[in-house]
Structure 1
């Protein structure tokens, strides 16, 4: 009897494990029906269905049969859009990577020296300038996301499903990473593309070199000249190492090799219009594939920047209203400051009219909830709605080289989309639910909504 009982327990335990494993592995299948579907900017299905299966778009169109295993969501009266892509973002809520040394006693001077020699032997010496860290990879600095990360939730509430996370300090700042914004305990599950671009700023301070703009330009040139020479010697050694001393390995110059070859774009992050022309001059000097992210006053310099044939990243942030309520306050406000405040909403329209390709970003927005309000001001200033949508979908997808998987709602692409109760950016329109990698997030919820009885796989 005891043997029979034990056998029964083993069988039941086995069935329990197998059943739960099957549920965990079961694909996420949804059918959103009767919705207005914006497949891409300018391409609309007035009443259609979109099928999502295991994180991908399986079908989209009119009169599509509903799979029997799908969870059907009636989206009558709703509008479905491709997930928005923010091409320049920082996630302050992400935990930073790095070794925890809080419990490690300080090393002696001799130990520190030996450790430094061992590190250099393994990975090469870093550049002597602290502001030159092109080897920094943002993907390695984002060790783990908090499930309740407010930045991630804030982006999703706007319909933003994908962001390019960028480094923030230095001249050569390092490499950005493109991630999907779903809750996960494992950062690798979020990464769509690593080492997307090298980010550069003509940064300087009065204390350390470089201490001026011209010093920053000189440092920029010297670093790329050294990297070019490094590349030459590495290729010579690779082709014929016999009798040749092995060149010293440099992680900084190694990271700049694809930049010099033109296979990895650089993003110049600038603070004023005149720096645009300087950045373009530097980029042409080294044949760099350059993208410009400036302060938002490109309209002042359109005649000069149009012939550059560069792609721009435009902020949706506007300057604060100048205080001119009293005579004393008005005296302290320049005409240029007033013009920039008045013309800020027209910037994107003027850039568009000039035929310059651009993407939009929430970067520098003091409150990301102001995105729709600021976009409405752009639309009122004459920017076409389809152009505004493209600047957050198809254009960044093209710039980032991910058009085959993001930017539109087409069969086979990643199931990143969001559902609204009206036309995008309209005053009363709200984002009601967001799908990221096929995981369903209702805006009031923090965790993905799955069919009853199904749980996300462990470490997803």
Structure 2
């Protein structure tokens, strides 16, 4: 899990932590993983900036100030020094809608910072020019709107209806433009819905292979921990899940969740049910065989 202060325009650095049951020091995988930015003022009490343009200007000026302070160390400023240190980390910038993507890409070019864009779920509206970009995609799709009342349904805009229709296809459309992305549960009112939302992406055109990468290898690469996490092979840390069926099967159950080599049982595995009719072949002769009874106390009948 990636944890950071989700507030303000310049949000500091984040840490990668494991969700195991060990102590804090043991579960801290990477103390300084990424630096985080946004175009939203957050909870600051000062009025400035009160516009999107002002937020972009403040972020640009802050980065320029940090670079200037680094080259003029006779004027010591701890805040700008800390910001400059964070400029060395892989940057993530959060956008509130697809219109801000272009601003984030412009910042990438201006400061030679390859921003990973934490999207808003409507990236399908600005697909041109995104090839090679990296995104963190939410899966907090809107629920179906109640249109049972004809009068109230008149206030529902076509824009909202189209977003409800297209939001689950957002990931598939980005994948078609050669965009790398990872999924995030951030924004979900109930995080238990996360996997079902990813399944919805698959149902709406995303390949299972790409969806699996967006849950494993891509986020590990973004976080800079792909040498130990994100895939199943010799030498990697044991973090994986054991499923009853294909991960994206509609009736799949997660049986076990392994975290740092320790198993957490989600659904205890049931013994195989051998009851049924069989064909028994002995020395070339075929006989019917029935296995009956309770699963824990089976009996068999062979007809010779």
Contact 1:259–1:288 under 8 Å retained in 2: no
SS across alignment from 2:127 = helix
Q: How much does 1:233 deviate?
A: 1.6
Q: How much does 1:207 deviate?
A: 5.9
> What residue in structure 2 maps to residue 174 of structure 1?
12
CA shift digits 1:113-132 (9 cap, x unpaired): xxxxxxxxxxxxxxxxxxxx
The root-mean-square deviation of aligned C-alpha atoms, in Å, is 1.8
CA shift digits 1:127-146 (9 cap, x unpaired): xxxxxxxxxxxxxxxxxxxx
Contact 2:119–2:136 under 8 Å retained in 1: yes
SS across alignment from 2:188 = coil
CA shift digits 1:29-78 (9 cap, x unpaired): xxxxxxxxxxxxxxxxxxxxxxxxxxxxxxxxxxxxxxxxxxxxxxxxxx
Contact 1:227–1:257 under 8 Å retained in 2: yes
> What residue in structure 2 maps to residue 350 of structure 1?
173
Q: How much does 1:427 deviate?
A: 2.1
Contact 2:130–2:177 under 8 Å retained in 1: no
> What residue in structure 1 maps to residue 51 of structure 2?
212
> What residue in structure 1 maps to residue 297 of structure 2?
none
Q: How much does 1:172 deviate?
A: 0.4
Trace 1:52-451 onto structure 2 (pairs within 5 A).
Answer: 163-184=1-22, 186-204=23-41, 208-234=47-73, 246-250=74-78, 252-260=79-87, 263-306=88-131, 309-443=132-266
State how far apart, in whole Å, the 2-side matches of 1:418 and 1:221 are.
Answer: 42
Contact 1:179–1:191 under 8 Å retained in 2: yes
State how far apart, in whole Å, the 1-side matches of 2:103 and 2:114 are.
Answer: 15
State how far apart, in whole Å, the 2-side matches of 1:372 and 1:248 are.
Answer: 48
Normalising by the residue count of structure 1, what TM-score does the alignment of the two structures yield?
A: 0.55
State how far apart, in whole Å, the 2-side matches of 1:279 and 1:199 are.
Answer: 12
CA shift digits 1:80-132 (9 cap, x unpaired): xxxxxxxxxxxxxxxxxxxxxxxxxxxxxxxxxxxxxxxxxxxxxxxxxxxxx
Q: How much does 1:188 deviate?
A: 1.4
CA shift digits 1:328-360 (9 cap, x unpaired): 222111111111000111111100011111111
State how far apart, in whole Å, the 1-side matches of 2:54 and 2:204 are.
Answer: 40
State how far apart, in whole Å, the 1-side matches of 2:84 and 2:46 are.
Answer: 30
- Which structure 2 residue ranges, 5 or more long, are not aligned? 269-304
SS across alignment from 1:209 = coil
Contact 2:253–2:267 under 8 Å retained in 1: no
Normalising by the residue count of structure 2, what TM-score does the alignment of the two structures yield?
A: 0.82
CA shift digits 1:195-221 (9 cap, x unpaired): 111111111379611111121112112
Contact 2:34–2:91 under 8 Å retained in 1: yes
SS across alignment from 2:198 = helix
Contact 1:372–1:426 under 8 Å retained in 2: no
Contact 2:91–2:114 under 8 Å retained in 1: yes
- Which structure 1 residue ranges, 5 or more long, are not aligned? 1-162, 235-245, 446-460
Q: How much does 1:304 deviate?
A: 4.1
State how far apart, in whole Å, the 2-side matches of 1:373 and 1:435 are.
Answer: 20
Contact 1:264–1:289 under 8 Å retained in 2: no
State how far apart, in whole Å, the 2-side matches of 1:422 and 1:320 are.
Answer: 27
SS across alignment from 1:386 = helix
Instruction: Count the aligned residue pairs.
Output: 266
Q: How much does 1:179 deviate?
A: 1.0
State how far apart, in whole Å, the 1-side matches of 2:237 and 2:4 are.
Answer: 22
CA shift digits 1:351-402 (9 cap, x unpaired): 0011111111111112122223222221111111111000010111111111
Q: How much does 1:259 deviate?
A: 4.6
